[in-house]
Structure 1
Amino acid sequence: MSPTRTAEAAAEQVPSARIPLPGDPEDALIDEACRDLRLPAFRERFVEIAATARREQVSYKQFLLELLQTEVADRDLRRQQRLVRAARFPRPKRLGDFAFEKNPNLLPEIIGDLKIPSWVQEGRPLVLIGDSGTSKSHLLIGIGTAIAQAGLTVRYTTTSALVNELAEADAARRLSSVIARYSKVDLLCLDEFAYLNLDKKGAKLLFQIFTERKERKATAVATNSPFAEWDKIFNEPRLCAAIADRITFPCTLIQTGTDSYRFQATEAEHQVATR
């Protein structure tokens, strides 16, 4: 091997004397620099990664790459966590925890496709219809969580809570700012849709949200009322038709059935307890 190649090979190896180990004076300086540069994962892992690099005699580039990848992965995880918190889900639910074997109406492949954010980016609606206890809320929260983890903004609320918020904002002359805030969210998860009758004002306020989001931002709703019964909820046929148009075109429709999963689970627990 030529002297030049020997020097290059030696330069590619990380000398043990240059890698800071626990207790080395360089540790404090690196720690301070990581604080200044806001590199928490880098700061937490550099001693461990440096020790491994020294032991395995990896190159400078490999050592630096692992540190950078550690920081990138940590930032991705923290961003996912921030987006999930910002969605304001009432309880944690994951699609991975969903018992598909106890919900024969639902195909894992179809639900799994909804974890891919393309439908949200295209502004397509999602409608979950089924009786109470058929896991609509679990699916709504689980899908919303998956979309947030994919890096998009999500907001969960119930229909009644949203209408109340809009009514309060209207009374305080802040309606436009609240509607603008909801119009920017990539995915709006609206639970308990058409559960309670809405007066004309409430329906008009809700209509404004759907109008702002139509074909631009995705909205997912969970309801126990079939489309044919929505006119009884909104008490205004034309307004009901306009809202239904904005929610259902071109929507993905998931029917969760009529058999209550919660009731089945309670029955199973009761049978076990009485044996």
Structure 2
Amino acid sequence: MLTIEHLTHQLKSLRLNHTAAQAESLLSMAEENELSYLQFADSLVKHELEARNKKKLESNRRGAGFPVEKHLEEFDYRFQTSITKRQVNQLLDFSFVDNRANLIFIGPPGVGKTHLAIGIGLKAIDAGYKVLFSTALGLVELLELAEIKGELKKKITQLCKYDLLIIDELGYLPMNKQSNHNLFQLINAVYEFRSVILTTNKEFNHWGEFFIDENVAVPIVDRLIHHSKIFMLGGESYRLKSRLG
């Protein structure tokens, strides 16, 4: 005699674990709604796919490394008038990711660069892309550790598996010669192969200040801006204004 326990066991053996967990309720729902065999089979498949997709999205969000969740719906366009909601929404078809292009947000601290980067990154994950967030300092340290272990090429290969890399706060601290070299290797590897969102407080003609070596700064700038949309954000610090207010 076929029992719900037997069905659950069979589903688990096929690794349909989400459906197995809800088998009894799905069966009851099918009976109540008098679903045909085809409709019931379709409902089982849809349930499994939706559960797997939800689990994948949750995993990708955890793996992205966002320090906090900042959503675009919370961005204050009344305060930051140098970029419009329309401009940001136009990015959300993610053609820039599909075309291996970059986004660069330039402006002083506190004007919303990181908020925009994280918000777009979260939307990209919801759209099915794999995203990694890192501060520039954290990324440099990651590459330096890999280089010390003799695993720089391996680490860069791992980073290239992400559809979108978000590099936050480039330019706040100067880099030594080896850090310059390591970052160049990464940027060169993702060039025209993966997309980057970059936030920085320095305009391009000042990048030599933190790269120290102009011979490294120039080719990095060249690769980043070749296929990119650049947004110059102005204004005073939103955080500072809020605190003073």
TM-score, reference length from structure 2: 0.91
Distance 2:40 2:209 in 1: 65
Match of 1:126 among 103, 106, 114: 103
Counterparts in 2 of 1:54 and 1:231: CA distance versus 1, 3 Å? same
- Match of 2:53? 76
Larger radius of gyration: 1
Partners of 1:47 and 1:99 in 2: how far apart? 47
Match of 2:70 among 89, 93, 116: 93
Q: 1:30 to 1:97 in 2, by over 3 A?
A: farther
Residues 195, 224 of structure 1: 8 Å contact kept: yes
Structure 1 runs (4+) greater than 4 angstroms displaced: none
- Range with greater deviation from structure 2 (58-67 or 45-54): 45-54
Instruction: Check conservation: 2:134, 2:168, Cα contact below 8 A.
Output: yes
Instruction: Give aligned pairs, total.
Output: 245
Aligned-residue offset at 1:211: 0.7
The amino acid of 1:73's aligned partner reads E
Higher normalized contact order (CA 8 Å, seq sep 6+, divided by chain length): 2
- Give CA-to-partner distance per residue, 1:173-208, whole Å, 9 cap, x none: 112211222233211110111111112221121111
1:219-234 alignment, distance < 5 Å: 219-234=196-211
Does the 8 Å CA contact 1:80/1:150 hold for their aligned counterparts? no
Selected match of 2:4 from 8, 17, 27: 27
Question: Matches of residues 27-46 of structure 1 in structure 2 within 5 Å?
Answer: 27-46=4-23
State the secondary structure of the residue aligned to 1:225: coil
Q: Residue 8 of structure 1 corresponds to which residue in structure 2?
A: none
Q: TM-score, normalised by structure 1?
A: 0.82
Is the counterpart of residue 111 in structure 1 residue 88 in structure 2? yes
- Matching residue of 2:33: 56
1:142 aligns with 2:119: yes
Runs of 5+ consecutive residues of structure 1 not aligned to the other structure: 1-23, 269-275
- How much has 1:42 moved relative to structure 2? 1.4
Structure-1 residue corresponding to 2:233: 256
Note the alpha carbon deviations across 1:219-270, whole angstroms, 9 max, x for none. Answer: 11111111221122212222211111111112111223222222233344xx
User: Contact 2:80–2:235 at 8 Å: present in 1 too?
Assistant: no
Percent of aligned positions with the same letter in both sequences? 27
Q: 2:42 aligns with which of 52, 65, 88?
A: 65
Retained in 2: the 8 A contact 1:193–1:223? yes
CA distance in 2 between counterparts of 1:191 and 1:94 reads 16
Mapped partners of 1:207, 1:129: distance in 2 = 20
Does the aligned pair in 2 maintain the 1:126–1:252 contact within 8 Å? yes
Once the two structures are TM-superposed, the CA of residue 216 in structure 1 deviates from its matched residue by 1.3
CA root-mean-square deviation: 2.0
The separation in 2 between residues aligned to 1:173 and 1:226, in whole angstroms, is 33
Gaps of 5+ in 2: none
Q: Aligned partners of 1:198, 1:80: CA distance in 2, in Å? A: 35
2 CA distance for matches of 1:102 and 1:146?
A: 22
